[in-house]
Amino acid sequence: GEDVEQSLFLSVREGDSSVINCTYTDSSSTYLYWYKQEPGAGLQLLTYIFSNMDMKQDQRLTVLLNKKDKHLSLRIADTQTGDSAIYFCAESSKYSGGGADGLTFGKGTHLIIQP
Amino acid sequence: DAGITQSPRHKVTETGTPVTLRCHQTENHRYMYWYRQDPGHGLRLIHYSYGVKDTDKGEVSDGYSVSRSKTEDFLLTLESATSSQTSVYFCAISITSGELFFGEGSRLTVL
């Protein structure tokens, strides 16, 4: 079955770039997603990338997709204290109904910002 | 804001009691999902719905049932709660065929 793997923690200094990595197994995934979760809150969609793209940039966020290696990364430039959160990688899952797939999530990466 | 409301937001109950969590949406989206979030497991899909009275099981459906009698409401029921069902439950809706928008979560503690 599908599996999404992420490292559990990443610690960076404020102002540096953060790179959060993810590997997935389902080569048929059409979209891959990054979500952010702040303490006590739900998940917020940060960005997504279509599987025929290699890169997507949105302000401080850069998503890189290596489809051959099934590797996805999220780079946050100039990391700020407000970026401290859990970041989830997700892919379209096998649980489909009427054409709408749910998502399979990784366990999440805790981004810790050092002053 | 995708117009998703979960209730209750917090609940403490005892083992063996029934519990129902409600997810309400205001925008008539067809697809709705229930996930649970646990430390070390991330988010796991419990059940999902693709229309009124159309539901199906997800990865961790044992011990849970769902109902969708109206487009706007998706109910998750624990017939007899167990301590292993202590978790944070998230409802989500899908606007397109992949992108999900989440509610704020319902924290359930089973003693």
pLDDT digits (tens, 9 = 90+) for B7-28: 999 999 999 999 999 999 998 8
Looking at chain A, which residue has its C-alpha nearest residue B59?
A: A95
pLDDT at B27: 87
The one-digit pLDDT tens for each residue of chain A (115 residues) are 558 999 999 999 999 999 999 999 877 777 889 999 998 889 999 999 988 889 999 999 999 999 999 999 999 999 999 999 999 999 876 544 434 567 889 999 999 999 8
pLDDT at B40: 83
For residue A102, the distance in angstroms to the closest alpha carbon of chain B comes to: 7
Residues 6+ apart with CB under 8 A from B53: B68, B69
Chain B contact present for A30, CB below 8 A: yes
Radius of gyration of chain A (CA): 14
The one-digit pLDDT tens for each residue of chain B (111 residues) are 568 999 999 999 999 999 999 999 998 898 999 999 998 888 999 999 989 999 999 989 999 999 999 999 999 999 999 999 999 999 999 876 568 899 999 999 999
Residues 6+ apart with CB under 8 A from B57: B47
Chain A contact present for B17, CB below 8 A: no
In degrees and rounded to multiples of 5, residue A73 shows phi and psi of -135, 155
Q: Which structure tokens are listed for A23?
A: 């590997």
